[in-house]
Amino acid sequence: MPDCVILCQVFWLDCVAGFRKSLPENKKGPPMPLSMNREVFITAAITGSGATQDRSPHVPRSPQQIADSAIDAAKAGAAVVHCHVRDPETGVPSRRLDLYREVTDRIRAAEVDVVLNLTAGMGGDIVFGGVEAPLPTVAGTDMVGATERIAHVAQCLPEICTLDCGTMNFAESDYVMTNTPGMLVAMGRMMTDLGVKPEIEAFDTGHLWYAKQLVKDGVLDSPALVQLCMGVPWGAPDDLNTFLAMVNNIPDDWTFSAFALGRHQMPFVAASVLAGGNVRVGLEDNLMLDRGVLATNAQLVERAATIIENLGAKVIGPAAVRAKLGLTKQVPA
């Protein structure tokens, strides 16, 4: 067994032991086994909706740039590409249907196969006016109905789209990401009816709790797909104790991936694989390859693939992911 694999296994067992020590005596139970994932898929989060467009020349803005970056990431080993769109001139995030359709058409026409995952997280954004005058809301607020939030999904028919499974405060002082139970039920049913698999984005343990309720109520199909979003202020912190708590709240027959932000992106590649999951990397979550070195999406995927393979696991491709998750590659409307 390679030395790097032995060291990572020791590291993981130490993390598990630390987690068990933090539990009350009557809650410890039997030791948690090391259940490494041996067949791992990589999701590349291509551009996101954060204010990163002026921090790196590699953050794609136009549909062609986004599609080209996604295709390069697929060639580097990503089985799934997760895409937002941006205004081609300003780089600010957008919900324009024509931009999503162009990205979709370009990716579908490429010579490389890849699973398409479109965001459905936009349209639930509230920016309050301030602590003394919270209403009316101010610039940045973007609140629309369920049908409009997934209009691009209905038109483009990706294999996967995201479902942010809760409301939470973000880093900005007066910004709240809003996803009420009623909104999630409506969006979840629409996604399921379209034959598009929701990727449950869980930013905290309560989001997983509600995701399980959505499956119990028949809104989402089981087994579900989960993305654990670690270290996003102010959701679940990216320490390993919290990560293990998140992992242990996922039903055994569900599939999960995980990611963390910035310099923690690559350590969480290893952590997620060792915990039995898959991985996500990309410029949505991290701009740097090394200290002072700006990354491309393809470079981040290549580094993640190296980590996965050095752990003794295999990176699987889009056909295997479709078979694993029961995905259907549909023709856009």
Is residue 332 domain-resident? no
Angle 265-274/297-310 helices, nearest 10 degrees? 40
Is residue 76 domain-resident? yes
Cα(42)–Cα(40) distance, rounded to whole angstroms?
Answer: 7
Domain that holds residue 321: 3-20+36-325
Structurally, the chain folds into a number of domains equal to 1
Q: What is the pLDDT of residue 15?
A: 54
Q: What is the pLDDT of residue 130?
A: 87
Contacts of 16 (CB under 8 A, 6+ apart): 31, 32, 34, 244
Is residue 27 domain-resident? no
Contacts of 314 (CB under 8 A, 6+ apart): 38, 39, 40, 308
Is residue 30 domain-resident? no
Angle value at C-alpha 152, between 84 and 168, nearest 5 degrees: 55
Can you spell out the DSSP letters for 113-124?
--EEEE---TTE
- The phi and psi torsions of 31 (rounded to 5 degrees) equal -60, 145
Is residue 188 domain-resident? yes
Is residue 29 domain-resident? no
Is residue 309 domain-resident? yes
What is the SS3 assignment for 30? coil
Q: What is the pLDDT of residue 250?
A: 96
Is residue 28 domain-resident? no
What does pLDDT average to in each consecutive run of 10 residues of the chain (333 residues)? Answer: 48 51 49 77 92 88 97 98 94 94 97 97 93 93 96 98 95 89 98 97 96 97 97 94 95 96 96 97 96 97 98 98 96 82
Q: What is the model's pTM?
A: 0.90
Question: Alpha helices of the chain — where are they, by DSSP H?
Answer: 3-21, 63-76, 97-108, 146-149, 151-156, 181-194, 205-216, 240-247, 265-274, 297-310, 318-325
Q: What is the pLDDT of residue 27?
A: 45
Contacts of 126 (CB under 8 A, 6+ apart): 137, 141, 143, 175, 176, 178
Dihedral angle sign, alpha carbons of residues 268, 269, 273, 278: positive
Q: What's the CATH code of the domain at 235?
A: 3.20.20.70
